[in-house]
């Protein structure tokens, strides 16, 4: 049975990670529920030249064409759609990823605010014991940021900063993006071939030094 994954775009830098993640999830046969904030619309335009209309139905149509989603497995919901499936524990996705994740969204999730669909869906994922992956893109990190991350990590939330490695000798920005997306897919248990597994090529070592 193919997994249903909720993906949320927020206003942090790093939209290429989120777009590539959706592309890979659909290619793997997953059902994708996409949520997006108003600021994510600005980031998508600035970083990728992609227009995300204000109407979710228009975003859904545009992204289905972009990702060649002929099966209609991509659904898009607005930030105030409280009757959307991910808003309720009676119909949660198998997992959720916020990519990229702003510090404001991370803080709201840590505080359990649930003031919009992204925050509510994350709240549902936590209370229902589903995998929740946050991809926070900020630097440097303040003590407040770190405390919020620690609070969430203690609840079982995966904090996955987009920190690409270089031991696989990336040749392009796409390679760096794929490195991070591969780590997200691993957390979701979604098969991929974005890059060789450690030890498969016999090159380099990432021993943490």
Ligand-binding site membership of 197 (annotated): no
Ligand-binding site membership of 12 (annotated): yes
What predicted TM-score, i.e. pTM, was given to this entire model? 0.94
Residue 200 is assigned to a structural domain of this protein:
no
Residue 207 is assigned to a structural domain of this protein:
no
Residue 105 has pLDDT above 90, yes or no: yes
Q: Report pLDDT digits (tens) over 169-187.
A: 999 999 999 999 999 999 9
How far is Cα 83 from Cα 183, in angstroms, rounded to an integer? 31
Residue 204 is assigned to a structural domain of this protein:
no
Ligand-binding site membership of 189 (annotated): no
How far is Cα 116 from Cα 34, in angstroms, rounded to an integer? 14
Q: Into how many domains does the chain fold?
A: 1
Ligand-binding site membership of 142 (annotated): no
How far is Cα 128 from Cα 92, in angstroms, rounded to an integer? 8
Residue 138 is assigned to a structural domain of this protein:
yes
Burial per residue of 71-87, b for 16 or more beta-carbon CB atoms within 10 angstroms, e otherwise: eebbbbbbbeeeebbbb
* Cα separation values, 60 from 32, 33, 132, 167, Å: 11, 10, 23, 37
Ligand-binding site membership of 137 (annotated): yes
Q: Find the domain containing 149 and state its range.
A: 4-188
Residue 203 is assigned to a structural domain of this protein:
no
Ligand-binding site membership of 4 (annotated): no
Ligand-binding site membership of 102 (annotated): yes
Cis peptide before 75 (omega within 30 of 0): no
Ligand-binding site membership of 90 (annotated): no
Q: How confident is the model at residue 119 (pLDDT cuts 50, 70, 90)?
A: very high
* pLDDT (0 to 100) of residue 207: 43
Residue 1 has pLDDT above 80, yes or no: no
Residue 177 is assigned to a structural domain of this protein:
yes
Q: Report pLDDT digits (tens) over 7-27.
A: 999 999 999 999 999 999 999
Residue 194 is assigned to a structural domain of this protein:
no
Ligand-binding site membership of 105 (annotated): yes
Residue 208 is assigned to a structural domain of this protein:
no
Sign (positive or negative) of CA dihedral 20, 179, 162, 26: positive
- CATH number of the domain at 152, please: 3.40.50.1950
* Cα separation values, 91 from 56, 82, 147, 184, Å: 20, 13, 31, 23
């Amino acid at each position: 049975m193919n997994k249903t994954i909720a993906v949320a775009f927020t206003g942090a830098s790093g939209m290429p990670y989120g777009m590539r993640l959706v592309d890979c999830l659909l290619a793997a046969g997953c059902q994708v529920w996409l949520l997006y904030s108003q600021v994510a619309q600005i980031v998508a335009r600035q970083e990728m030249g992609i227009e995300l209309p204000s109407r979710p139905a228009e975003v859904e149509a545009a992204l289905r064409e972009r990702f060649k989603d002929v099966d209609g497995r991509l659904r898009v919901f607005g930030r105030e759609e409280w009757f959307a499936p991910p808003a309720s524990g009676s119909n949660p996705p198998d997992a959720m990823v916020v990519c990229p994740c702003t510090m404001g969204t991370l803080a709201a999730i840590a505080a359990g605010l649930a003031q919009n669909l992204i925050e509510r869906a994350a709240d549902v994922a936590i209370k229902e014991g589903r995998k929740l992956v946050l991809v926070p893109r900020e630097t440097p990190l303040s003590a407040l940021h770190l405390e919020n991350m620690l609070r969430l990590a203690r609840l079982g939330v995966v904090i996955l900063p987009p920190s690409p490695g270089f031991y696989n000798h990336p040749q392009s920005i796409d390679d760096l993006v794929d490195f991070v997306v591969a780590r997200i897919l691993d957390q979701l248990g979604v098969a991929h071939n974005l890059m060789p597994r450690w030890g498969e090529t016999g090159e380099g070592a990432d021993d943490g030094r």
